[in-house]
Each structure stands twice: as structure tokens, then as C-alpha cells.
Amino acid sequence: MIYLDNGATSFPKPPEVIDAVADVMTCYCANPGRSGHDMAMKMARGIAETRQELSKLLEIDTPERILFTKNCTEAINLALKGILHAGDHVITTSMEHNSVIRPLRHLERSGVQVTVLPCDRRGRLSVDLVRKAIRVNTRMILITAASNVTGTKMPLKELGRLALRHGILFMVDGAQGVGHMKISVKEQHIDLLAAPGHKGLLGPQGTGFLYIKEGIALRPLLEGGTGTRSKEQKQPCEFPEGYEAGTVNGPGIIGLGEGVRVLNRVGVDVIEAYEEKITGRLQNGLAEIPNVLLYGPQDCREKTAVVAMNIVGMNCEKVALLLNDEFDIATRAGFHCSGLAHQTIGTGDLGCVRLCPGVYTSEREIEEAIAAVREIAARVEA
């Protein structure tokens, strides 16, 4: 199968990741931070190494401020529910995923104020618009690193500086950014970064994390066993234990560490350049097909490895179905959990087909995908 659904989950995984998961499960799958025996200690060390690899990748100085979650959605919920109070104002954009929009809408009911700034039809945000939206009670600017619908990269550095200058928290949803583009919590002045392990970081599903800068207080989302202060009935608030109640996904986190190790070794800049190249080829190839509509930035340097498209006169689900059934190509059609983003780019009623190459996608596969879309599009013309 030609896998162009990396925006949902990256595939294939590096062999190191799969081997690590199997090795942990076979050899030392004990409970880290609870028991003190050799297997548990080995597990704990493996998890600490993942924190180190992530810290290196994202230029984090405080690995203990990386809180492992099951996915990016949990990380976003943890951040928003753990920080915001009634009366706080949050600025976000119309290109956000439902993992951002839905918790914010939920929090509005308890008095959090939310401004959703409109992006343009390519999914781009004006920093000036953000500046003008700042109020005295603005607590947080929250934005995706890159749109999951169009791949549009957001102006993280400028927004980080703006937030810093105004004493506002800057939070980034890294779901489509980490592993695909340079993200540095230092350079971009990021206070909170939520990310999944199973997308650009090449790790297993069931992993994710929230980075939260030192000095920012956080309420836990889950209370439970932490392996610390067992006699206290109140949830402890040490980092990271207090925010990782219950048994963590040990094999998954160690597998994630291997994925990040690959990224650190290869270099995100190298991956970004390769993905830019193949995404550019895919986009240019599709652009030549008469009845194909493309969305998002035309210049691939402005986006990650996402091509959003429709064939005029054919439902997007039908296109994805034909790509799967007749050409063995995996894509995703519909609204991609981002109804608002589709309204923004003009596909609010249509949805679109999303083709997401990845670091393991070959140029040959890109050519085959272009040819497949051309063939399907020709049927509509006929």
C-alpha cells in the first residue's frame, strides 16, 4: 500500500521503534517509579532517556517538565484545564483542530473567554490580527504549529515574541509540526507544547506529551497513584509524577524515544527538506490535472507535508475510496476533525482529500499517486 496518511499516524515506523517496544515487552516490562527492582529501574531509565531525546530535539532545558500523555489531545486538555480560570481570555485561530476547539468551547461554559481569529483561505494567520485581539485578561495565545488540513505553517517565532512581550502564555499544538519542522521552545518562546508521539516523532500510538515551562503552575487532569507520597490523599504536584497518575505506557514511551533518536540523528532540517521536495512534486503534479482543486499554500516552504485537494464533480470520500480500492493508496477524506478550518479554506460543505507523504515516502510513490488521481479525475471529465 502507498501510505499517504502520515498526517493521521506516521507509517512505517523505524525498525528501532518496533524493536524497542518488543524488547521492553519481552524483557523488562515492569512498572517504573513504583517498584525498585532491576526491571522497574531499567524501565524508568528508558523513560528518562526518552525525556532526554525529546529535550534535545525541542531545546528543552528541563526534561522533568515533559509530561507523558496518551496522545496530543490529552496533552491539550491537561494544559487548558490545568491552567485556565474563569475570566481568562484565550486567542486562537480558525485553523485549529477539534482537539483545541472542543476543549475551549467546553471551557467557555465555565467562563473562559475565547477569540477565534480568522485565517485567510490558504490558512495563514496575520500576526497583526493577534496583536489587536490582545485584551488585559488575555492569558494565552494557542495555535497549531501547522494546520492538519492544509499544512500551513504558523508564525511561531513572531507569536512567541508577541506573547512574551505582553506576558501572555504561548502554547503550541505540535500535532502536525514536531518532527516535520524546526520547533524550539527556546527560539520560539514556547511556554507550552503539546504533541503526539505517533505522528512526526515516528513513535507508537498511545504516546504524547505536554511540555510546560518551569514556573507555570498546573492543576492535574487525573488524580491517582503516582508512586510518590502514597500516604497523602491529595494529589502531589511534583513534575512529572504528579501529572502522570497511573501506570504510564512504558513500552510506548521507550519506543517513542527511539523514534526521536532517529530524528535527532538524521536532523529535522534534512527531513523537512525531503518532505518539502516530495510534497512539492505531489502538489505540482496534481496542479497539472485540469479538474483538481488544491487548497493551502502554493509554496511548499510555507507548509508541512500535506496536500489538500478535491476533484471537481466527485465527492472526496469517493476519491479516497477509489484511491484505496483500485490503486492501493491510503489517504483520508472528509473534514479531518477540523470543521472550522474547512470553513476557512472554503470547503466547509465539501471536505477534501488529504494526501500526507512522510519521511519514508518514495518519489516513485508520489508519481504513482499523481497518476492515480489523474486517472480518477479523467473519469469525471469523461
Q: Is residue 76 part of the contact set for a second copy (CB under 8 A)? A: yes
Q: How many of the other CB atoms lie within 10 Å of CB of 76?
A: 28
Tell me, what amino acid is at 327?
F
Q: Smallest gap, in angstroms, from Cβ of residue 270 to a second copy?
A: 24
Stretch that binds a second copy, among 160-168, 178-186, 222-230, 298-306 (CB under 8 A): 222-230
By beta-carbon proximity to a second copy, the closer residue of 104 and 141 is 104
Q: Is residue 324 part of the contact set for a second copy (CB under 8 A)? A: yes
Q: Is residue 11 part of the contact set for a second copy (CB under 8 A)? A: yes
Q: Smallest gap, in angstroms, from Cβ of residue 357 to a second copy?
A: 15
Q: Smallest gap, in angstroms, from Cβ of residue 173 to a second copy?
A: 11
Stretch that binds a second copy, among 177-185, 266-274, 307-315, 333-341 (CB under 8 A): 333-341
Residue of 282, 340, 359, 376 interacting with a second copy (CB under 8 A) = 340
Q: 91-110: which residues touch a second copy (CB under 8 A)?
A: 97-99, 101-103, 105-106
Radius of gyration of the chain (CA): 21
Mapping DSSP to helix (H, G, I), strand (E, B) and coil, where does residue 61 land?
Answer: coil
Mapping DSSP to helix (H, G, I), strand (E, B) and coil, where does residue 177 land?
Answer: coil
Q: Which of 67, 116, 69 is nearest to 91 (CA)?
A: 116
Nearest 5°: the CA angle 356, 359, 360 is 95
Residue of 52, 115, 184, 235 interacting with a second copy (CB under 8 A) = 235
Q: 54-73: which residues touch a second copy (CB under 8 A)?
A: 69-73
Give the side-chain half-sphere CA count within 13 A for 307: 31
Please report, to the nearest 10 degrees, the dihedral formed by the alpha carbons of residues 159, 163, 169, 172 taken in order: 0
By beta-carbon proximity to a second copy, the closer residue of 155 and 339 is 339
Read out DSSP for 228-271?
SSTT-SSPP--TTGGGS-S---HHHHHHHHHHHHHHHHH-HHHH
Q: Which of 244, 214, 217 is nearest to 84 (CA)?
A: 217
Using CA atoms, how far apart are residues 88 and 90, in angstroms rounded to an integer? 7
Q: Is residue 232 part of the contact set for a second copy (CB under 8 A)? A: yes
Q: Which residues have CB under 8 Å from 362's CB, separation 6+?
A: none
Stretch that binds a second copy, among 84-92, 158-166, 210-218, 239-247 (CB under 8 A): 239-247
Residue of 86, 136, 217, 234 interacting with a second copy (CB under 8 A) = 234
Q: Which of 107, 235, 88 is nearest to 168 (CA)?
A: 88
Q: Is residue 223 part of the contact set for a second copy (CB under 8 A)? A: yes
Give the per-residue contact string, 21-60, with a second copy (x = CB under 8 A; - = no). xx--xx--xxx--xxxxxxx--------------------
Q: How many residues interact with a second copy (rule CB under 8 A)?
A: 88
Residue of 137, 230, 284, 362 interacting with a second copy (CB under 8 A) = 230
Using CA atoms, how far apart are residues 120 and 125, in angstroms rounded to an integer? 7
